[in-house]
Amino acid sequence: MYAPGVSRAIDAFAVVLLFAAASAFGFGIHALGQREDFKAIYLLVIGAFALRASTELLRPRGGS
């Protein structure tokens, strides 16, 4: 479907998004420990969106 270089670039971007999601979740948990509720909710939502975007990019596409 895509050229091999484009496919690898998309995979690399998905991995970067996955690490961004993990770090956002980590900082969100830390913010919860510091009782910074608004910051924690913001970071956890950003982490959720980044994780969803990463999985959408990594999901294999069917069809011809």
Residues 21-63 have pLDDT tens digits of 999 999 999 999 999 999 999 999 999 999 999 999 887 776 5
3: amino acid identity, one letter:
A
Q: What is the pLDDT of residue 2?
A: 67
Give the Cα separation of 19 and 1 in Å (integer): 26
The H-assigned helical ranges of the chain are 4-33, 37-58
The token pair at 8 is: 């690898």
pTM for this one?
0.80
Give the Cα separation of 47 and 25 in Å (integer): 5
